[in-house]
A = this chain, B = another copy of it.
């Protein structure tokens, strides 16, 4: 039985010969064998790594059912590449078979030409579904929810409810969470399919209903809704409009995608790079460079502040040339302390441990944490300083480390919360941004301390 196991080691089939090699060398029989012997998510992975032409050639080798499964596991950008290589008939079949929420997600990122071709080919029912999802703002729950839901009336028995599931369930993406609605389609509760299956047919559904379920509005942020699901451990979250009427369900696999995408975005932002949706190996050098260029340039311009600070103290530097020797170490330490604080606070905000209103508390904690760490580093730094230069400069280095770390941690902790209060994404307060800010102010602290201690 050829099971799909976890990749323990680099998969041997891939290392022998990659799909890309096989297709490019026209070994289509071997490629076909490879495509059939690997599970859909591995095929999808491999397609995402190859260039557009190879990917659509390989995709056309898949049989119809498998093609849909593989297609649904691709990211939207990769789906578009595949679609562009298909003739009309296969194109339409594939798009019509997608779930409406996946289709809406793909369309959102598609160039106008692809979007038009997709919408034109849909049945009117499918087009309505997709258009409805596209009406919600970007990043909202509405864009990710599935609108095809089996909802139950209020006064059913378990037997009747199972009948409703049987009649309508084939259309729906999930039947495991069944929202209960009143006659105006307002959400009044949810019942799990599990409860229906495990109870006798004449039980009243009302006895099994959870009457205060967590839910989200279609216009809410999808990330917040997904993190709410992580907290409540629900498999599906009912989605309502502003009048509490049921409009869909957010399924947990979509919530997982949303969380992963948000985390990837936060990570990119934290390193001072624009977030993007593509596959690392499929991106060109120019694309990668473009995504990093803006921040890198802004940070360089911001760093000219350090140039003018150092120039302002050139007199001090000329009198005690040894001071220059410790500049990289000191601003490095400040940057690291600030980055640690910023990262901890951005993450705590993202997972909901800290709120915007905690600003003063966070500043007070981070300031103390920074001073404690600064004290530790000062002890180390004074040893280094004494070894390399002498006791007097070493004292300057020690005092500077305490002050810089306290200051850097305070700034690092404060900025994400300030951003949150100003309704800016806290993840934009990247570690490099804090570091660059702390670099210039840290130099001022250093030179002023030197002047005070050494009297130059």
Residues of A that sit less than 8 Å from B by CB: 1-8, 10, 15, 39-41, 44-45, 48-49, 72-73, 162, 165-166, 169-170, 174-176, 187-188, 193-194, 197-198, 211-217, 220-221, 224-225, 228-233, 235, 244, 252-253, 255-257, 259-260, 263-264, 266-268, 270-273, 279-281, 285-286, 288-289, 292-293, 295-297, 299-301, 303-304, 306-308, 310-311, 314, 317-318, 321, 324-329, 331-333, 335-337, 339-340, 342-348, 351-358, 361, 365, 368-369, 372-373, 376-377, 380-381, 384, 388, 431-432, 435-436, 439-440, 443
Contact = CB atoms under 8 A, between A and B. Distances in A.
A3 B244 contact: yes
Contact of A212 (B39, B49, B221, B304): B39
A192 to B, nearest CB: 9
A410 to B, nearest CB: 13
Contacts of A335: 335, 432, 435
Contacts of A333: 296, 299-300, 303
A84 B209 CA distance: 34
A333 B174 CA distance: 50
A280 B344 contact: yes
Most chain B Cβ neighbours within 10 Å, of A267, A297, A307, A347: A307
B373 A2 contact: no
Contacts of A354: 280-281
A188 B1 contact: yes
Contacts of A215: 3-5
A336 B432 contact: yes
Contact of A289 (B273, B373, B431): B373
Copies in the complex: 2
23 contacts: A6-B216, A162-B197, A169-B194, A169-B198, A176-B176, A230-B256, A235-B253, A255-B256, A259-B259, A263-B267, A264-B351, A267-B343, A267-B346, A270-B271, A271-B342, A273-B343, A286-B372, A288-B369, A296-B340, A303-B328, A306-B328, A307-B328, A328-B439
B2 A212 contact: yes
A306 B324 contact: no
Contacts of A271: 270, 339-340, 342-344, 431
A443 to B, nearest CB: 7
Contact of A270 (B165, B229, B260, B267): B267
Given A215-B5, A256-B230, A351-B260, A197 B166 contact: yes
B270 A343 contact: yes
Nearest to A255: B256
A288 B326 contact: no
Contacts of A73: 231-233
